[in-house]
Amino acid sequence: MQPMDETFVPVGGGAMTLEQVMRVARNREKVQISSDSIVKMRKSRAYVKRLLREKRVVYGLTTGFGKFSDTYIPAEDAKRMQLNLIRSHACGIGKPLPEEAVRATMLLRAGALSLGYSGIRPRVVRLLADMLNAGVTPVIPEQGSLGASGDLAPLSHLALVLIGEGVADYKGERLPGGKALAKAGLRPIALEAKEGLALINGTQVMTGIGALACQDAFNLTGWADCAAALTAEALRGIRDAFEPHTHAIRPHPGQGLSAANIRRLTQGSRLMTVQGELRVQDAYSVRCAPQVHGASRDALRYIREKLEIEMNAATDNPLIFAEEDRVISGGNFHGQPVALAMDHLSVSAAELASISERRIERLVNPFLNEKLPPFLAQDGGVQSGFMIAQYTAASVVSENKSLAHPASVDSIPSSGNQEDHVSMGTIAARKASQIVSNAYSVLAIELLCAAQAADFRGPDRLGKGTKWIYDRCREHAAFAGEDRVLSGDIRTVADWMRRTDVRQAIAAIVPLD
């Protein structure tokens, strides 16, 4: 077998990780299908051909779909049925999914098919990989999936491009699918028996969106600790609450890590106080930051585990077990494991934004901010300072509360009540992604407010880590000595946070885990 090229992200050559998805989806790294996967797919495909010759009754191969599962389809109609399947199921509506979400979906679909349980030809999966490598990205509407029989509608829009139909983005142009393939030097495929169903029966859209959101949320927990640390200094916070003794006797890993991060970031601070110096204890939004941030951190570990299981799973129906001479119609396409994880992600990210907004309120409120200027304005009254920035944070946090309502508790029967319980997992993933994005904006507002407060306190009095954070903030947004439009600053800081791995960025300054 030909060895894998280490410059490529392997498809089918081992367990796919969240980091590998990021490399392909965001960094546009290239992929390569493993030789072992090619062998598995060929065996599976040979078995499908045998089933056709023997005229066995197999769902989706010699029968119709959904409620038509008892309708026999003769072999001569198999190709037409697969083509009709893709066209009829491409019913997505709404805005197109972001390019990175589609690329993640393509990678994960190629990975699932390469496991060799789908009965698909290797050349179909190769075309998916070639499209990723060439930058041909199908345009997939974001709405239309029930999340069981998988992501049928959105994956059908992906499959359209493989057959030279649909719409795709290529080098900044939105083109008919066939034209995009041709410009990239690729040729569409003609679907054969089982292949249309194999392409669309899976959970890769919800999983791809979820993988991106989960990775962003992990980074967000680090920024939450950074924001809390800078705010704690600006409010002359009590360092005792972050000392290890308290957290050692309630040993949730995330809680201990968040407390350690805040301790390290504020190391050397001349603004932090001790218990009884100014007050006996701080408000919950400061004092309980490790407990709240840590709970979200621990939840994300569970969510990551579920996503990485799903990323490496066969989620088709039916599944081909060629060596056992069996075809099993099951329910691996049901998105409930991802749906529950995505609803958990929504709540976890929403809470990071919620406690951040409460710290913003303490920074701007003259009755709570330890003698900082009201609303952090240099000339209060003539200037409004960060008054409305807090409004914006409160608005987004309230919106998150609505978005965090679990999608997975809902189900609407479909396909003549054959598919009578569905996951709504793709809705859950889309909502989680929006909440994570909103949370970045709220934390950006907190960083801007905390940096403004630090200017009034004296940035030279900050700790080693918080001074680094303050300096980076000031590189992206100047001190607001006069009122100005802040929406651009919020967006700039939020974008900087999203693209910066906070653990790596300040590892040279303080050991942030």
Catalytic, out of 47, 59, 117, 470: 59
Beta 9-11 vs 31-33: how paired, if at all?
parallel
**CA torsion angle 359 365 366 367 (round to 10):** -80
* 72 classed as catalytic: no
| Alpha helix (H) residue ranges in 184-313 | 195-200, 204-234, 244-248, 253-265, 284-287, 289-311
Contact 315, 202 (CB under 8 A): yes
| Terminal Cα distance for the chain, rounded | 40
Place of tokens 């089933």: 51
For residues 241 and 289, what is the distance between their CA atoms, to the nearest angstrom? 9
Tokens of 174: 């939105």
How far apart CA 513 and CA 503 sit, in angstroms, is: 6
Specify whether the CB–CB gap between 108 and 132 falls below 8 A.
no
Q: What is the DSSP string of 321-332?
A: EGGGTEEE---T
Q: At 95, phi and psi to the nearest 5?
A: -65, 150
CA distances from 400 to 261, 343, 349, 432 (A): 26, 12, 9, 9
Q: Are 51 and 327 in contact (CB under 8 A)?
A: yes
- Which residues, at least 6 apart from 393, have a Cβ–Cβ distance to it below 8 Å? 353, 356, 357, 360, 441, 442, 445, 446
Burial (CB count <10 Å: 0-12, 13-18, 19+), residue 216? buried
Nearest to 363 by CA among 230, 222, 464: 230
Copy the structure tokens of residue 109.
Answer: 């679909």
Give the C-alpha separation, 385 to 270, whole Å. Answer: 26
- 318 preceded by a cis bond (ω within 30 of 0): yes
Which residues are part of the catalytic machinery?
Answer: 59
